Amino acid sequence: MKFEIIQVGTIFSPYKKKEDCPIQGVAAPEGTGHVEVFPEFEEALKTIETFSHIYLFYIFDQAGEVKLSRQTFLSDDIHGVFASRHPCRPNSIGMSIVKLEKRIKNILHVSQIDVLDRTPLVDIKPYIPRFDFRENAGNGWTQQKKMQQKPPERE
Amino acid sequence: MKFEIIQVGTIFSPYKKKEDCPIQGVAAPEGTGHVEVFPEFEEALKTIETFSHIYLFYIFDQAGEVKLSRQTFLSDDIHGVFASRHPCRPNSIGMSIVKLEKRIKNILHVSQIDVLDRTPLVDIKPYIPRFDFRENAGNGWTQQKKMQQKPPERE
């Protein structure tokens, strides 16, 4: 079965090229940007300013070839793309947690961003620790991996 | 801009009707189910069994009318759908965090599920506390809301 999804806004960030993006937003708290929700969807933002953090959902529109398993930025080992956050996945849906600094009408000013500039936005959900925090959750294969520079020429 | 996404599997749960689904999985730890990833995508699961929890991404294929703001299951006040987890949103993308109990080939046995039976799966990502936990994040407008039975006739 196939589904059609639409762009509801655009994410603007300091990262103009894929290789500039940090591996995860939490590792780049200084990265600030803004999200322009198209005016026709502004009503959907009502009360979002009560949250400190939000999930952005977007399309990795610059992603390269899809492979079901591959090396990742964090690891030289082969991991399935459902076991990593790799952008090249069967559906190119990305998710980032960002800090919501302020809302001005249909514009959300955010920090801790790790998304490429001008990425198409498809959804926003509030980050709600009382629902989303799982005590004792493990870090899986990433546990021992250090944040590093992205290995060159690795998609 | 529009994007096409494909179904990569199916989520099976004890919840046969929308009104049976818990408001959030964390409130229903006893809910168990399984995720069938289509065999052609099994390779994408490699090493997923190292994680204790995963995000499921799916399509709310039984969602009703989209309204940009409305009452929610938790609140009689009006909230924008981007400020809630309401299923009726411009793109019907749902996200749930579930506990991964075990993997047998292309089948993931999970608990803490809050998804309707036979929901189409579109992506899986690992839940990684070191990337996803935000200390001091607030609960926004949900802070004072108690878990409750879903108000009848509220979509």
Instruction: Say if the Cβ atoms of B80 and A43 lie within 8 Å.
Output: yes
Residue with tokens 């607030």: B138
Q: Do A80 and B2 count as a contact with CB atoms less than 8 A apart?
A: no
Residue in A1, A44, A126 nearest the CB of B90? A44
Question: Cα angle at B48 between B45 and B49, to 5 degrees?
Answer: 120
Partner-chain residue, chosen from A92, A125, A131, that has the shortest CB–CB distance to B26: A131
User: What are A75-98's pLDDT values in tens digits?
Assistant: 889 999 999 999 999 999 999 999
What is the per-residue pLDDT across A18-37, written as a single tens digit (0 to 9) for each?
888 887 777 777 789 999 99
**Distances in Å between the alpha carbon of A144 and those of A28, A74, A75, B52, B60?**
19, 10, 10, 16, 36
CATH architecture of A9-142: Beta Barrel (2.40)
Cα–Cα separations (whole angstroms), residue A100 to A12, A34, A112: 14, 9, 9
Q: Does the pLDDT of residue B68 top 70, yes or no?
A: yes
| Interface TM-score (ipTM) > 0.90 | yes
The yes-or-no verdict on residue B150 having pLDDT over 80 is no
Q: Which two tokens stand for residue A43?
A: 């009503």
Asked if the Cβ–Cβ distance from B69 to A82 is below 8 Å, we say: no
- 34-63 of A, contacting B, C-beta below 8 A: 37, 41, 43-48, 50-55, 57, 59
Among residues 52-111 of chain A, which lie with CB inside 8 Å of chain B?
52-55, 57, 59, 68-69, 77-85, 89-93, 95, 97, 99
> Is residue B153 pLDDT above 90, yes or no?
no
Spacing of C-alpha B122 from chain mean position? 11
3-state helix, strand, coil split of chain B in percent (to 5) is: 15, 35, 50
Reported in sequence order, the residue ranges of A20-92 that DSSP labels E, i.e. its strands, are 32-37, 53-59, 69-70, 79-80
Q: Report the distance separating Cα B95 and Cα B54, nearest Å.
A: 10
In degrees and rounded to multiples of 5, residue A129 shows phi and psi of: -55, -35
Predicted structure pTM score: 0.94
Mean pLDDT, residues B22-31 taken together: 75
